[in-house]
Amino acid sequence: MTNKTLIKEYISLLLEQDSTRLKKDLINVTMKLTMTKDSHVPDTLTRIRVLPSVAVVGQDEPVDRSGGTTKLEIYVKFLPTAENTHDSLQTVGKLIKGLPGIKMIKMISVGGRPVLWKGKPIVI
C-alpha cells in the first residue's frame, strides 16, 4: 500500500458524513525505537506526530544513548485502517520506520497489554 493510498484512506475515515463518532477506536501502542546515535528526539517525535492517522505521541521514559545508538520508549495513539490489530501495527510501524534516523521498532504493548505475534515480539 502506497503512502498516497494510506493518506486517502485516513482522510476518508476522518471525513465520515453519517455520524459524528469514529467507526473505530484509537489504538494505543507502546514501542521502543532504536535510532542512530545522533538522532534528535524532539524532531523525531514531531515527525511521528504529523504522520497520517497518528493522534498522540508521548514519551514516559528517559532517552538511552548507550552502546552507540539512541533508544527511546514512546506511546502512539492512532486511528487504525486495517481490519486487525497486527496489520494496523505493521502499517504505523512502517510509516515510523521510514523516518530519518530510525533503525528498528519493537512493539511492546497495545492498550497496556503485552503484544506478541505468533509467540514472538513484533519487530519492524
Determine, yes or no, domain membership for 122: no
Beta strands in the chain (DSSP E): 27-36, 54-59, 69-78, 102-110, 113-114
Determine, yes or no, domain membership for 42: yes
Residue with the bigger pLDDT between 24 and 35: it is 35
Determine, yes or no, domain membership for 117: no
Beta strands in 37-120 (DSSP E): 54-59, 69-78, 102-110, 113-114
87 near 121, Cβ under 8 Å? no
47 near 99, Cβ under 8 Å? yes
Task: Give 86-98 pLDDT, tens digit per residue.
Answer: 999 999 999 999 9
**Domain extent for 104:** 3-9+25-111
Cell 539512541 appears where?
70
Task: Give 30-87 pLDDT, tens digit per residue.
Answer: 999 999 999 999 999 999 999 999 999 999 899 999 889 999 999 999 999 888 999 9
Determine, yes or no, domain membership for 120: no
Q: Please state the domain count of the chain.
A: 1
Determine, yes or no, domain membership for 70: yes
pTM of the entire structure?
Answer: 0.81
